Every structure is written in C-alpha cells, then in structure tokens.
Structure 1
Amino acid sequence: MVSEALRTPLGSLTPRFPLPSRRIALYDFRAGSAAGDAKAEASMADVMRHKRGGIYFEDFQVGAVIEHGLTRTVTQMDNMLFSNMTLNPQPLHIDAHFCATETEWGKPLMNSLFTLGLMIGISVNDTTVGTTIGNLGMTDVAFPAPLFEGDTVNCTTEIVAKRESRSRPDAGIVDFLHKAYKQDGTLVAQCRRQAFMRKRPTPATVAV
C-alpha cells in the first residue's frame, strides 16, 4: 500500500490533477479503446512498488505514458542560484538589463540545464525513487521553445524500450522519453534517458 506521504506533493509543488491513488494515473496507453484501457488496468493491478514509491524493472510497460502530477513554477532565484552553483556567467540567465537591451527575448531565459534537471526530477517520484541503480546516459536532448521565469512546468514520461541486463541478473535497462511543457501546452524540453533499474526483490534478497 502506498503511504499518504508518497501521495502528497512536496513543498510548494502542486498537482495538475487530483491523484487519489498513484496507481490510477501511472499508465496511459493513449489507445482510447477498451483493449487499451483493459491493458492499462491489468498492468497496474500487478505493479509492485518500492517502499519509497519507485517501480521495478518488470513493471515498466513499453508504450506506457506517465503524466506526472507534480508541477513547478520556475523563478528568478532558480536561474540565479543554479547559474551560480555551476559557475555559469551567461547573461542570458542572470542579467535582466542585458536581456532587455541586447537580446530578442527581452527577458532572461531559464538555464537549460536547470530545465533538463527539473524535467527529470519531476519524473523520479512516479518512476525510479528507490529502484534505480543509476543513470546510464542521456541522448536526444532538445529545447524546442524558450522557458522564462514565471512559467509553470509539467511533464510526461513515455517508456520507449527496456531490456534485461547482460551483466546482472537482478537488473535491467529502461529507456525513458521525458517531455516538459509550460502552462500553455508548449513543449519546452525533451530527453531520452537510459536508467539501470532493479528487478523485483526475491525472497533471497529481501531483508528479514
């Protein structure tokens, strides 16, 4: 059973839609058919979650799309703090006067690496918390539209591929396609990510 703490958004983050149970909104095959709905319902009936909420390798279904309930309004502080922490002096992110007078944007752009991290971070609570061994890589990173301070981000994750590990019988590799949108539905970021995922624990691996 999922604890109440796992159903509650963290801090000031708010859900885009009610999530009475995190098992309801996880798998949307977007088929719009009885077969698709039945497949989604059946897949969710067998999902085993880590005590922190993550999904094990066996339970990820290729073709599934997860609509994440957490959203985040990005701020000037995000831009300033992230750019400072990464030693990035780019005025596109930290100098409002520069942006107003020397760029076509007229205002600061969000640091794209912050946007990438936020998009992946939003996905973690519904997918990999407690069940990932580590990231293996990211490809096809794109930022098709600008994101500005004051915009609100929501995200989806599609399971695009999975395979057994060739070196570890207790793990597998899952390919996620993350997408981030701002409040008007504009796609602002996307990334394909490979994660090394734990399989369901067996009686021999469960601590007594």
Structure 2
Amino acid sequence: MRGLYFEEFEVGKHYKHAMTRTVTEMDNVMFTSLTMNIQPLHLDEEFCKGTIHGQRVFNSLFTVALIGAFHVPELTMGTTLGNLGYDEIRFPHPVFHGDTLRAETTILDKRESKSRDDSGIVWFEHRGYNQKDELVCLLKRVGLMAKMPAELKEGA
C-alpha cells in the first residue's frame, strides 16, 4: 500500500477516510504524561467537575495527531517527504473519553517545488468529527510530497 505521489493529487478532491478510533482515558493520560502537560483539565476529574465541561477534556495535541494521521494509509504512506507547516488548527468542540473520531481530507492546492525537482507541495485540510458528527478539529497543513519515480511513469 502506498500513498499518492504529487502528480496524483487533485485540487478540490475530498476523501472520507474509513478508519475510526474510539479514544480512551488511557490514551489521554499516557499522551498527556509523555508530553509532560500537567494541565488538570486533562488529568484531574475532581477539578474538571467545576469547569464548563464538567469532565476531563482530551489533550488537543493528541486530537491533532490522530486527526492528522487518519489520511496516511490512503494519501501519504511512503510518499510524503515531511510536513512544511500547519497554517491553521481549530477545536470547535471538545473531545471526551469514549468519543469515536473519524476524519475527512480535502486537497486545497498544490504546486511544484521551486527548490527541488523531485517533489511538490500540497495543501491539505483535515477535518475530525466525533460520533455525533460534531466537528472537533480542523487543521490545514502543507506537505512536501514526492513526485512519481520515472520507472512508475514509464510503466503507466
């Protein structure tokens, strides 16, 4: 299984990724602890009872990582050369323990690299939804994508 090469991306194309994932308390506690984020909003149930959410909220950086990964098998597996940046990250709705997340991706734009002849730049918009179809994460990122190798072009 491989992702798409630069030439295969179509601006405006929309993908609904098949993978879903129910996020657990263990995911949240482990990620928050590994990243040394001691925010009680993620770790302290008693503290959170007094907040606007009334319960622990998932670490938003875990949400970015998960929503930003759902596309990998379908779009970028083995064909990405790296992230160039994130243009926008938003969290319109919180994620809680037990939510089941899914993602969709739209290709916003693409262009040839100006400094490398083996790659191009692609702009992605990833949207994450929970089981209620509430938007929980929107991220726009820029990726450096490999161009199709000559041997594949010749075989096509």
TM (norm. structure 2) is 0.95
Out of 92, 95, 99, the position equivalent to 2:48 is 99
Match of 1:86 among 28, 35, 55: 35
Q: Rg: which structure is higher?
A: 1
Given residue 45 of structure 2, which amino acid in structure 1 is its aligned partner? A
Q: Distance in 2 between matches of 1:62 and 1:87?
A: 39
**Mapped partners of 1:91, 1:200: distance in 2:** 47
Kindly indicate whether residue 14 of structure 2 is the aligned counterpart of residue 73 of structure 1: no
Over 4 Å off, 4+ runs? none
Q: 1:182 aligns with which of 116, 130, 133?
A: 130
Q: Does 1:161 align with 2:95?
A: no
Deviation, structure 1 residue 140 = 1.2
Deviation string for 1:68-117 (max 9, x for gaps)?
000000110011000001000001111111111x2121110000000000
Structure 1 residue 123, shift from structure 2 partner: 1.2
Number of residues of Structure 1 aligned to a counterpart in Structure 2: 154
The answer as to 2:70 corresponding to 1:111 is: no
Query: Does residue 202 in structure 1 map to residue 150 in structure 2?
Result: yes
CA displacement 1:109-138 (0-9 Å, x = unmatched): 000000000001111111101000110000
Deviations 1:27-65 (A, max 9, x none): xxxxxxxxxxxxxxxxxxxxxxxxx32110000000000
Partners of 1:55 and 1:95 lie apart in 2 by 42
For residues 110 and 144 of structure 1, what CA distance do their matches in structure 2 show?
A: 13
Q: Aligned letter for 1:151?
A: D
CA distance in 2 between counterparts of 1:175 and 1:203 reads 26
Q: What is aligned with 2:71?
A: 123
1:179 is matched by which residue type in structure 2? R
1:203 Cα deviation from its structure 2 partner = 2.9
1:64 aligns with 2:13: yes
RMSD: 1.5
Percent identity (aligned): 47
Instruction: Give the Cα separation in 2 of the matches to 1:90 and 1:84.
Output: 10
Indicate the residue corresponding to 1:10 in structure 2: none
Q: TM-score, normalised by structure 1?
A: 0.72
